Structure 1
Amino acid sequence: MPKRLLLPLLACCILSLQPAVAQPAPQVRHAATARSKAAAAIPVPPPSAYNGHPKLAIILVLDQFRGDYLDRWRADFKAHGFNLFLAHGAYFPDCYYEYANTETAPGHSTIGTGAYSDGHGINSNQWWDLNRSKDHPVTSVEDERYALVGLPQGEKTTPGVSPRNEMASTVGDELRLATQGQSLVYGVSLKDRAAILPAGATANGAFWIDQASGRFITSTFYMQQLPQWVQDFDNGHDIAEAEQAANASGTKNFYHDVGATPAAVSYELSFAKALIESTQLGHHDTTDMLTLSISSTDILGHQVGPDAPEQRAMIDAVDADLDDFFTWLDKNVDGGLGNVWIALTADHGVAPVPAVAAQMGLNAATIDMKKLLAGLNDAVNTKFSPGEKVEYLLPDQSLPYLSLNQPSFERAGINEQEAEQAVEDALPGAFNALVPEEPTAGAAQTKLPPRPALFRSYTREQLAQGQLPPTPFGEILAHSYSPNGGWYVMVTPEAFQMAGTPGSKGTNHYTPYAYDRHVPLAFYGAPFAPATYHGRVQPVDLAATFASLLGINQPSASVGQILTQALKPESEVTYPKPPAVRPHARAERSHKAAGTAAKTGGTQQ
């Protein structure tokens, strides 16, 4: 049983064993009733979300930003970018995801929902769903029922996207429900999944870029056409300026050529400013929310790895841009930055480039996925269809999930358990076939090259039925389960190993190892006591903490803890302005003012 469920269960058991409490005498009950009535007469301030404090809550996600970066390059940071959190916020340097599928889509869903894949259903960036497509894996946000909005004329608008695969509410959804739609919620990123999934199904809008042109677009799930302010932004000078800053003028691949540079960070934050200004976020009677995911750290990070000077320069540039953005917020939100909450985290960490780790002596092999899949297909054919070349595994695959071609097995009369077990049984041999030849005994040797090696594997049925080790690792695996992907086997190579081309300078993330699960977590805002808080926490704690402070329900599948150790006493929480007037209160006040004016024959000034 997950550890987070044990304490509530034990508390219930203990309470059930307590002796019945004797009823107080009648006069005591009457006195208690009188005190209760007196207490009820004292006005209780409404929760923050309802009285407009904070004016704006921001969930800031840095894509592929490992937890050690903030301390590693702390001396680089200037003014109030990252230092807003490090020097003036509540900083948790020991934050780790408690699941094994550390990819972009699951991470953003986890941040928004306060749940893991077994709660929100998103276990990968894409997966095979043969009921929806037989020629390509569907993405985490793909939805053929909707079309894309805002693409340059002539570009294909389908399939569109939506949050249809996210099976849990987000903290933004709960904010919208609690305020009956008065609070506005938006999501922004260069990536569609990073804009959509943390914001949720009730968001007023989500915006991301068309990868070719760099124009911000959306989906008919949210709106039938782009608002005029988005059209004006797309038709303005920002795209050309970003291309020029990235030395990529006229590019046909904005996402790659500009997205991997600091220019894309400035571009994305310029769009966020335009959104805040045009929708008047931070100027309403209830709390508004923005989920903002910075994608450039991931786009570049895959190419160069976490130890490259280019990635350090990118993070320094993000720091400068955040300083500018936070300064702008201070001037453009009612009450300034003191009326804003900001949570900072990341969707996943990242592994060192295998060649770099191998030079340090680690067994950091690169796994040739094409050869691995071919070896598995050959082994399964040998077992079930000797001499044939049936495609038992689907093409276009990536770790950690290997999707099986269910129709091929069913035509051979093989059920899911037999199919998944056959693939799992074939994995050790398929990995061994990837091992490079070693020198013969007695020959002069240097250090042997890294060897691809399998650490663990589990079938979908094992994950679904909880047939997992009763250990912390087993709990991590349980949190990684989702039915998405049909029949599959979850594969974990040894640490520091990943799919790719041998000798590549790039890197990846998708494993249960600490370097992929470690991310920063920090908060800035009136309720948070500035300090560094050591001790394990999880990204799911973000949504739980925000929901508690806003006085709203936690998201539907939330498993996070409220980070009470970082909260000020309520008596010490102050805001620059008094609570805003609720709409019904404003109408009532206007009605009274009109009545008074009529009686006096004048107007109220």
Structure 2
Amino acid sequence: MKKVFLSLCFLMLFQQISFSQKAKSNEQPKLVVGIVVDQMRYDYLYRYWEKYGNDGFKKLMNEGFNCKNTSFNYMPTFTAPGHASIYTGATPSIHGIIGNNWYVLKEKRKIYCTDDANVKTVGSHTLAGVMSPANMLTTTITDELKISSNFKSKVIGISLKDRGAILPAGHSADAAYWYDSETGNWISSTHYMAELPAWVKQFNNKKLPSKYLSSPWNTLLPIAQYKESFADDNPFEEAFNGQDKPVFPHNLPEIVKLKGLGLLRETPFGNTFTKDFVMETVINENLGKGENTDFIAVSFSSPDYIGHQFGTHSIEIQDNYLRLDKDIAELIAFLDKQVGKENYLIFLTADHGAAHNPGFLNHNKMPAGIFDSSKPLADLRQLLNEKYGKGDWILSYYNEQFTFNRKLIFEKGIDLYQMQQFAKQYLINYPNISNVYTSQELSTSDFVHKPASLVQAGFHQQRSGDVAIVLEPGWMEFNIKGTTHGTVYNYDTHVPLIWYGWKIKKGETSEPYFITDIAPTLSVILKVSMPNGNTGTPINAVLNPLYKK
């Protein structure tokens, strides 16, 4: 009897220890999967709701936590600053990624956000891998995770776009992989590795881009069911090279002969190719299987290419999201099996939204238009020549900012701030420009209201220009067809934010949050320091239900 009693005591003690260990192992997720959908408007979640399956976007929303009122808190709303802001918890005024490109005044040249001449391409003979996160001035949540784990956590970034992989993965990532249009391969740079892992080479050898482009792109559903979109043949979309009209089916086997393997980016199959590689990465890198939390940062780039070409109400963009819904469903099912739902955390958001095509708005009697910056630029140059004498006073115009030739201005003894004010007074009266700000104002004032506060949050004193403009709502610098993004307005700033998996409780909130709140929320969940430039605030609506006793 005594032996039986001792055995029962031992069994109860063992079960208690096992439960305690299991509870402790679930204190943080084993794997964080950050998903950024490039150019995803918030309303895409609901516009196509009836056509989505039950296991993709609907699953995330029905079982996860939906922050329904999440916005970007700066301008310009472009891809590079978007990804940087999500992962640093800071705005461009601090992390320094003020655009996809910007003008370097000291060097008098344009720079690309991830350019780095000190590294080399890995996995290709092209220059597509001469990239790194060196231009980003702060740490990311992924960097802080590496530091906290004494660099035992694995961090990997994946995107067709280099900037969509590099900036989220941070400075200390184990790897970042992006797509080389010339070879159709996933590549990297010597910032991360000397050569590609054997499993990546094997994946590249499958030549999946050629397979995906070997058949025409037709609609997933019968085209008559795409009632949420415009007619297939309309004047607001841009046709592929070699096509007379922008209509289905898109003959990819013929178009690829003209555009090369880069065409993959411009189809929904770019998302599927990305998803394929993400799952291969999780398996081969054993992500979510170790003692420390791992992090994979994924960006689906194809929606941006498709949106730019066809616009926000095209059948093409709807078909893209219906197919992406299936890709996300497959990824969730894979993670459930490979890692376990209780062990992984997903957050899904976007790097910016998109505007409606101005021609479409005009057609429906709404104000909008295409802004041609060449005219005010030429006029302003002439006016400066007339007032200050002939000179190369304006060096560049990028991201709706004019950069002056400060060296020449100082040599001539001209008051820089007076010249900025002179330019402002001309530009504020130019048609379809709603606001103008000088660098002096943005550097010395503390704006709290839109649009000034958003312009200021996107302004970096060493990297930004001398005079910034804001266009009227609905106006854009782009082609007549398709669409773009970058403004201070809701159609560009309002994006999805959904949390799913691990211990996330089902729910939603309409309270306002900013995209910069994602990183500090992750910091609380992962019990790591916030990124060193962080200005965001943890989202208590997500966190409070996790820690209620």
Amino acid across the alignment from 1:266: T
Aligned with residue 265 of structure 1, among 265, 268, 271: 271
Q: State the distance in 1 between where 2:34 and 2:24 align.
A: 15
After superposition, the Cα gap between the structure-2 partners of 1:147 and 1:413, relative to the gap in structure 1 and judged at 3 Å, is: farther
Amino acid across the alignment from 1:177: I
Q: State the distance in 1 between where 2:392 and 2:179 align.
A: 36
Which residue of structure 2 lines up, in the alignment, with residue 96 of structure 1?
A: 71
Aligned with residue 489 of structure 2, among 509, 513, 529: 513
Amino acid across the alignment from 1:538: F
After superposition, the Cα gap between the structure-2 partners of 1:549 and 1:295, relative to the gap in structure 1 and judged at 3 Å, is: same
Q: State the distance in 2 between where 1:254 and 1:326 align.
A: 31
CA contact (8 A) 1:115 1:557 kept: yes
Shift, 1:561, TM fit: 2.3
After superposition, the Cα gap between the structure-2 partners of 1:308 and 1:391, relative to the gap in structure 1 and judged at 3 Å, is: farther
Shift, 1:259, TM fit: 0.9
* TM-score (structure 2 length as normaliser): 0.84
Which residue of structure 1 lines up, in the alignment, with residue 476 of structure 2?
A: 498
CA contact (8 A) 1:213 1:253 kept: no
For structure 1, the residue ranges without an aligned partner over 5 or more in a row are: 1-41, 433-452, 574-605
CA contact (8 A) 1:121 1:483 kept: no
Which residue of structure 2 lines up, in the alignment, with residue 368 of structure 1?
A: 372
Amino acid across the alignment from 1:232: Q
- Matched pairs, number: 496
Within 5 Å, which residues of 2 pair with 1:149-548?
A: 149-151=122-124, 153=125, 155-156=126-127, 160-245=130-215, 247-249=251-253, 251=257, 253=259, 256-333=262-339, 336-385=340-389, 388=390, 390-395=391-396, 397-428=397-428, 431-432=430-431, 453-465=432-444, 467=445, 469-485=447-463, 487-501=465-479, 504-548=480-524
CA contact (8 A) 1:51 1:285 kept: no
- For residues 513-564 of structure 1, give each alpha carbon's deviation from its aligned partner in whole angstroms, at most 9, with x where no partner exists: 1111100011002322112222211111211111101111111122222222
Which residue of structure 2 lines up, in the alignment, with residue 116 of structure 1?
A: 91
Q: State the distance in 1 between where 2:422 and 2:181 align.
A: 40
Q: State the distance in 2 between where 1:193 and 1:518 align.
A: 21
Amino acid across the alignment from 2:137: M
Q: State the distance in 2 between where 1:384 and 1:354 align.
A: 38
Shift, 1:128, TM fit: 0.8
Name the SS of the counterpart of 1:357 in structure 2.
helix
Name the SS of the counterpart of 1:285 in structure 2.
coil
Amino acid across the alignment from 1:185: V
CA contact (8 A) 1:59 1:292 kept: yes
Matched, 1:563 2:539: yes
Shift, 1:47, TM fit: 13
After superposition, the Cα gap between the structure-2 partners of 1:131 and 1:149, relative to the gap in structure 1 and judged at 3 Å, is: farther
After superposition, the Cα gap between the structure-2 partners of 1:340 and 1:251, relative to the gap in structure 1 and judged at 3 Å, is: farther
Q: State the distance in 2 between where 1:268 and 1:317 align.
A: 13
Instruction: Please say which of residues 365-374 and 54-63 is displaced more in the overlay.
Output: 365-374
- For residues 81-130 of structure 1, give each alpha carbon's deviation from its aligned partner in whole angstroms, at most 9, with x where no partner exists: 11221111001121111112211111101100111112212111110114
CA contact (8 A) 1:48 1:549 kept: no
Shift, 1:572, TM fit: 7.9
CA contact (8 A) 2:184 2:262 kept: no
Name the SS of the counterpart of 1:456 in structure 2.
strand
CA contact (8 A) 2:98 2:464 kept: no
CA contact (8 A) 1:117 1:482 kept: yes
Shift, 1:371, TM fit: 2.3
Shift, 1:171, TM fit: 0.9
Shift, 1:406, TM fit: 3.5
Larger radius of gyration: 1
Percent identical residues: 30
Q: State the distance in 2 between where 1:256 and 1:404 align.
A: 36
Name the SS of the counterpart of 1:127 in structure 2.
strand
CA contact (8 A) 1:60 1:293 kept: yes
Name the SS of the counterpart of 1:186 in structure 2.
strand
* TM-score (structure 1 length as normaliser): 0.77
Q: State the distance in 2 between where 1:454 and 1:239 align.
A: 43
Name the SS of the counterpart of 1:325 in structure 2.
helix
Which residue of structure 2 lines up, in the alignment, with residue 142 of structure 1?
A: 115
CA contact (8 A) 2:39 2:354 kept: yes
Amino acid across the alignment from 2:336: D
After superposition, the Cα gap between the structure-2 partners of 1:316 and 1:49, relative to the gap in structure 1 and judged at 3 Å, is: farther
Q: State the distance in 2 between where 1:410 and 1:344 align.
A: 48
Q: State the distance in 2 between where 1:402 and 1:174 align.
A: 36
For structure 2, the residue ranges without an aligned partner over 5 or more in a row are: 1-16, 218-250
